[in-house]
Structure 1
Amino acid sequence: MRKTRSLLAAGLACLALPLAVPAAEASTPVVKRLSYTCPFPLIGLQKLDVEIKASFDVPSAPGGTFTTADLAVSVTVPDKSTRGLALVGAASIEGTASAGVMLANGPLTLPLSLPLTVAKTAVPASGAFTTQAAGSVPPVQLPNAGRTTLTIGGFSTRLTPKKADGSYTGLGSFTSDCTLDPGQDPVLLSFDLAGTQTEYRYAVAGSTALKVLGATAPLTGSLTAGPVFATALDETAADFKAFGFVPGRADLRFTPDGPQTGEAVDGGFAAHSTLALALPQVTLFGLPVADAGCRASAPIPVDLRTGPGFAMATGGPVTGTYAIPPLTGCGAFTAYLSSLVQGGGNTFALTLTAR
């Protein structure tokens, strides 16, 4: 029965995976038969045969979600186990299980622990009998094109045999950690998720904090995630206090300077950009103190990563850090202005909104 629930969990995971794989939208049945070895009190190791049945619906492209339905897992308990349960006066058995599966979708590797419920099942005096287990599988997003596999491992069950009057037997509730028998194919599903990856476009709003300058500048712009990653930020300005009391203002212009790449990570993405930073105008007391060619002396690597609550379809929080190299081309005050901004610990705190 533990095995049943574990297998059920595995079946659920298995269903979830295929859902995002093919491009068809028709319901597709899945059947998988496996054998496990599970330790039982009093009678030792026992082999259980498990059958998983389910159907799944799939999205048309990477980035979509899959759902599962009609999931049924049956476990055949052998006669020796039946007689062992009857020996302690068990008239029924029920419990829970947790199955371990591994979902791989391109570079994404996601371990899943799926909870299951083993339905209350009557225990005969002898002979094999079958238990049924069920559970639910949350929607899973498959962000990447390419090879996708769902592999089942072991499972753990906690079962409770009861007497006819509903009281516990001498076994109480016991836990059994089951292992997949060797020589079997542990892959529940394997397929190529093909087609063009969905492109997502977002409006950007947020800010960048300049640590050494002690100032924050608002940011707006756009970001594209998908087969091609691209970040475009509008020019902005940061107000600051030089020497702690002299009012200043620095215009900031971030522009792409090199390839922009990215990959799917945990339902969101990580974007990698190299940006040039220009300070076309810097003022103190409202008076210009920098030449128009004032800029960072080298490109700035920036990594942006989605945070909790982010969804590809709607957007959410994105953060990143970066370091500013020494400035150049600022004129007579280059060294001083560089000392105001040069250094690490600068941050981006952005919110993306799907367009």
Structure 2
Amino acid sequence: MRSRNRARTAGAALAVAVAASGLAGAAGVAGAGPAAAQQVTLGLDYHCTFPLLGPEPVHVDLTATVPDAVEVGQQMHGFVVDSVSTVNADSTRALGALYSVTLEGDALADATLVVPEEPDGLPVQVDSTLDKTTLPASGEFKVHGTGTSPDLVFTQAGSGKVTVGNLLLTLTPRTDDGGPTGLGTFQSECTQDPGQNNVLAGFQIDLPGAQGPSKPGTPTVTAHTSTSATLTWGASTDTGGTVTGYDVYSNGSVVASSTGTTATVPNLTPKTTYTFTVKAKDDKGNVSDPSDPVTVTTDAAGPASHAYTLKGTTTIKASNGTAPLTGVLNAQIAPDTGAVTGDLALDPADASLQALGFLPVTAHLTFANQGPTTGTYANGALGTQTRVLVKASSFAAFGIVPIGGGDQCQASAPSTLKLASAGTFDPAAGGAVKGGYDLAALTNCGPITGLLSPLVAGTGNTADLALTPKSGS
């Protein structure tokens, strides 16, 4: 069933392309004149309501080569819009369960053209036929659609843009004998998810014969972060007016403006490649040709910081001992690699041990880190390791009779505490972690060091802990 949604998506994209074409034609079109072109891409997410399933997510990718500018009264040649939708393997299996072999139907797309003649936008509905698509037995498949706009002529100068709206799909999955499945033919309303940029293309309509500003110099990237890029370019000149400013474009939309020859583009996505051009504008309403493009890849996002309180217990296998563990873990998680770095601070703890299998002994333990905490986080799984030197300042029989310890009493080598998430770990919410460590033999614990060391030294020790986000972290 979800495959059907995806197949509709491709048809929806085709319908959107045709809708954009019809819109542009409805705005007042007919004449001639070549213009520079820009390649634009647009990805849109929808939720389409299907029988039995309810709202299902659908994604459409559109690509088009659209003229940058056209003069009033001159022809802007039609442009082709390609759409590609990928159907996932789960959806393919769902369609197969209905004995579907092919999918076909129609898409009715809403789109809007905004030009000086129609400043509030001209809504148009365009119907298109979906290509018949053969479904694979398993795995993903792609559906491709194409639409071409008519030639256009505009009557007023200014800016124009085409936006893509909602979809109505009429679909028929068919079996291998060409007959419909149990669903027959049905309609699905697709609502665009809010908060998206739904501008397919923007272009400029110039006055005929206007000189306008010259093409700006090729921009250069003077600085970039994970979410912004700063550009600078050569100034434009103007023979018929005065240059009043510049607009920076990406994918056919204005992403920054400036009265000078530098601008910072905000709200970018980390670790993403962008292509920018610059257009100058003057006091007569004219806009220049676009500059040559510049491409920049934003930085990876910085590591996210998390602070946790730690609480749980540890078992010391050598003497059937236990000790409470509390403390703090401050960690940073790199979003691109999942690398974890941090600092683990464990509070002192009193361990309850058994000497000779029956004599209760209390050991006061402290923990000294021997380096940072390191590890990885990926797909809900957290793993860390920390080198810790365990010290025992005192041992007391029955909790009151001193029998050893001291400032120099400690393990002869650091322990490596390895922890892993127990179940799915959410860095924002914390979670349970478990692990283990070995303890080396004790040294410098007094005359009976040789008797005290076996109480703690050995392998197979465990830790069972909970990490809880600190308030405000």
TM range (shorter): 0.5 to 0.7
- Aligned equivalents of 2:100 and 2:391: distance in 1? 76
Q: Are residues 1:345 and 2:460 paired?
A: yes
Residues 195 and 72 of structure 1: is their aligned pair in 2 closer, same or farther, counting only changes over 3 Å? farther
- Aligned equivalents of 1:84 and 1:74: distance in 2? 23
Show the counterpart of 1:60.
Answer: none
**Contact in 2 for aligned 1:8/1:73 (Cα 8 Å):** no
One-letter amino acid of the structure 2 residue matched with residue 201 of structure 1: A
- Aligned equivalents of 1:200 and 1:34: distance in 2? 38
- Give 5+ residue unaligned stretches, structure 2: 11-42, 46-58, 62-82, 103-132, 136-141, 146-164, 192-268, 273-296, 334-340
For residue 292 of structure 1, report the CA deviation from its aligned partner.
2.8
Show the counterpart of 1:302.
Answer: 417
Following superposition of structure 1 onto structure 2, how do residues 192-271 of structure 1 map, counting pairs within 5 Å?
194-227=300-333, 228-271=341-384
- Aligned equivalents of 2:376 and 2:9: distance in 1? 29
Report the more deviating stretch, 339-348 or 282-291: 282-291
Aligned-partner SS, 1:196: coil
Show the counterpart of 2:84.
Answer: 33
Show the counterpart of 2:56.
Answer: none
Show the counterpart of 1:293.
Answer: 408
Show the counterpart of 2:177.
Answer: 84
- Aligned equivalents of 1:194 and 1:265: distance in 2? 16
- Give 5+ residue unaligned stretches, structure 1: 17-28, 53-69, 95-119, 123-129, 135-144, 149-190
Q: TM-score, normalised by structure 1?
A: 0.53
One-letter amino acid of the structure 1 residue matched with residue 84 of structure 2: R
* % identical equivalent positions: 31
Considering only aligned residues, what root-mean-square deviation do their CA atoms show, in Å? 4.4
Computing the radius of gyration over CA atoms, which structure comes out larger, 1 or 2?
2
Q: TM-score, normalised by structure 2?
A: 0.41
For residue 240 of structure 1, report the CA deviation from its aligned partner.
2.1
For residue 219 of structure 1, report the CA deviation from its aligned partner.
1.4
Aligned length: 234
**Contact in 1 for aligned 2:354/2:455 (Cα 8 Å):** no
Deviations 1:75-129 (A, max 9, x none): 9879xx689333xxx4x544xxxxxxxxxxxxxxxxxxxxxxxxx635xxxxxxx
For residue 351 of structure 1, report the CA deviation from its aligned partner.
1.3
- Aligned equivalents of 1:34 and 1:204: distance in 2? 46
- Aligned equivalents of 2:360 and 2:414: distance in 1? 28
**Contact in 1 for aligned 2:430/2:469 (Cα 8 Å):** yes
- Aligned equivalents of 2:379 and 2:101: distance in 1? 43
**Contact in 2 for aligned 1:270/1:306 (Cα 8 Å):** yes
Following superposition of structure 1 onto structure 2, how do residues 1-355 of structure 1 map, counting pairs within 5 Å?
3-5=3-5, 30-31=60-61, 33-34=84-85, 47=134, 50=143, 84-86=177-179, 90=180, 92-94=181-183, 121=185, 194-227=300-333, 228-285=341-398, 286-308=401-423, 310-355=425-470
**Contact in 2 for aligned 1:3/1:50 (Cα 8 Å):** no
Show the counterpart of 1:183.
Answer: none
For residue 42 of structure 1, report the CA deviation from its aligned partner.
11
Residues 283 and 350 of structure 1: is their aligned pair in 2 closer, same or farther, counting only changes over 3 Å? same
